[in-house]
Structure 1
Amino acid sequence: MKIGLFFGSFNPIHIGHLIIANTMATNTDLEQVWFIVSPQNPFKKTKSLLHEFDRLDMVERAIADNSRLKANNIEFSMPKPSYTIDTLTRLSEKYPQHTFRLIMGGDNLEQFTNWKNYDKILEYYGLYVYPRPRSEESGLKAHANVHLVEAPLLDISATFIRDSIRANRSIRYMVPETVEEMIERKKFYR
Structure 2
Amino acid sequence: MPHVEKGMAVGLFGGSFNPVHEGHALVGEIALMRLGLSQLWWMVTPGNPLKSRTELRPLAERIAQCRHVASDRRIKVTGFEAALGLRYTADVLKTIRTRNPGVHFVWIMGADNLKSFHRWERWQEIARTFPIAVVDRPGSTLSYLSSQMAKTFDYARIDEDDAPRLARLSPPRWTFIHGPRSSLSSTALREAAKPGRDL
**Is this a same-fold pair by TM over 0.5?**
yes
Q: Which residue of 1 aligns with 2:92?
A: 87
Equivalence map 1:1-190=2 (5 Å): 1-63=8-70, 65-79=71-85, 82-135=87-140, 136=143, 137-138=146-147, 139-140=151-152, 142-144=154-156, 145-166=173-194, 167=196, 169-170=198-199
Alpha carbons of 1:22 and 1:48: their partners in 2 closer, same or farther (altered >3 Å)?
same
| Mapped partners of 1:84, 1:142: distance in 2 | 22
Q: Give the gaps of 5 or more residues in structure 1.
A: 171-190
Between the two proteins, the alignment pairs up a number of residues equal to 168
| Mapped partners of 2:152, 2:73: distance in 1 | 32
| Mapped partners of 1:157, 1:120: distance in 2 | 27
* Partner-residue secondary structure (3-state), 1:113: helix
* Partner-residue secondary structure (3-state), 2:95: helix
Is the 8 Å Cα contact of residues 21 and 33 (structure 1) preserved in structure 2?
Answer: yes
Deviation at 1:140, TM superposition (A): 4.8
Q: Deviations over 1:150-175 (max 9, x none)?
A: 222322122322333344744xxxxx
Q: Give identity over the alignment, percent.
A: 30
Q: Deviations over 1:101-147 (max 9, x none)?
A: 11112232232222222222222202100122333323257342111
| Mapped partners of 1:168, 1:108: distance in 2 | 26
Q: Residue type of the partner of 1:36?
A: M
Q: Give the gaps of 5 or more residues in structure 2.
A: 1-7, 157-172
* Structure 1 range deviating more: 16-25 or 26-35: 26-35
Alpha carbons of 1:149 and 1:31: their partners in 2 closer, same or farther (altered >3 Å)?
farther
TM-score (norm 2): 0.76
| Mapped partners of 2:190, 2:88: distance in 1 | 25
Deviation at 1:94, TM superposition (A): 2.5
Q: Residue type of the partner of 2:10?
A: I
| Mapped partners of 2:24, 2:155: distance in 1 | 25
Q: Residue type of the partner of 2:81?
A: E
Q: Which residue of 2 aligns with 1:188?
A: none
TM-score (norm 1): 0.79
